[in-house]
Amino acid sequence: MARTHLPHLASLVAAVLADGCCCGGLETVETTVTTEHQGTLTAAQVQQVREAELDDDARCEAACHLLFDVDDDYGTYITACSTGDPDEVVDPWSPEKTAVTVSCRVESIESQQVEPTCGRRPQGHRAATVAGDGRGRWFALAAHLEAASVQAFEELARALARHRAPVGLRSRCVAAARDERRHAHAMARLAAREGATVPRCEAGPCHDDLFAVALHNAVEGCVDEAFAAVLAAAQVQALTDVQLRRVFATIADDECRHGQLAFDVHAWLLARLPSDQRAQVEAARAQALAALPTRAAAAAAATPPGLGGPSPRRAAAMARRFAALLGATQSPKRRTNHAEIAEV
């Protein structure tokens, strides 16, 4: 069986770092949704619209408001409106009409909070909503995700122990959980200074069979955790605040080790899976890499000024570069720390 090798993470970070990037906070993404509506006014509604001193276009829009849930104050707008049959000669609002059919095109702006790529999350992780905006929300979400990573590494350590993985891999998971706990405390302190509250971590049940663990590690470890190392190293280079730079420099070193751990766990797990399951795991990793530029752009868009955040376009470009490099296969080398990365 051919063995799957991933490149050493420090090499990936060094290759991508020149473009710069940073992990962002909870991003609110707005999407415009267009819907077509058609309905018929009752006689009473026709009379109500007819009695209003409006021109035909305004009457049509008034009819849409009566029939459908349209509220201009909450991001819903009528962009097109028509009444009756286009070939009909009779005025739809003439006194003899007791029913009028109205067609409306409505656009609505829907907002959705998107959790950024910020490292490994446990199986069944439930995304948290953080109130407010700015630095406080960013630090609170970062603390929440760091705490979630504690759960994720503890979960992975238990699964590896159950499957008799090498002691070295298991002990590295335990050490990574300790690192993430320190990160969570550091981010929580920064959030508290901004008056923000860190939401609790919640997750559903996890599955510890080899295939489930491999699928989860391929996405959360080999993609999200590994890219978090790129983000953290880039953030350190961009930060001008000395205190924050010191905090994130430590995190960057740790995240690079955690990402490499994901690569090493990936190789160990894949070697023990049948070919069809290996293919599914690699397909899941490829799908996560394909989605990474969009997620990275959303994360960068939400990063407050002064925290080392790039433009969304730059973040997306870094994610594409990271994905392209990760697609190459080569034998892994041993570790390089953050100081060595920064010198490249």
Biggest CA–CA distance in the chain, Å, is 86
Residue extents of the structural domains in the chain: 9-26+116-342, 30-113
Residue 255: which region, alpha, beta or left (left: phi > 0; alpha: psi -120 to 50)?
alpha
Amino acid code (one letter) for 264? D
**Burial label, 228 (beta-carbon count in 10 A; 0-12, 13-18, 19+):** buried
**Alpha-carbon torsion (41, 42, 48, 50), positive or negative:** positive
Average pLDDT over the chain reads 80
User: pLDDT confidence of 47, banded at 50, 70, 90?
Assistant: confident
The answer to whether the beta carbons of residues 75 and 33 sit under 8 Å apart is no
- What integer is the mean pLDDT of 159-185? 96
CATH number of this structure's domain 9-26+116-342, picked from the four choices 1.10.4030, 1.20.1260, 2.60.120, 1.10.10? 1.20.1260
- Examine the pLDDT at 148 and tell me if it is beyond 90: yes
The answer to whether the beta carbons of residues 307 and 239 sit under 8 Å apart is yes
Residue written as token pair 């991003």 = 27
Supply 28's token pair.
């609110």
Look up the pTM and report it: 0.67
Summarize pLDDT for 72-117 with one digit per residue, the tens: 544 566 778 888 765 565 677 777 777 888 888 877 655 444 444 4
Distance CA 179, CA 233 (A): 16
Distance CA 268, CA 308 (A): 35
Supply 69's token pair.
């849930």
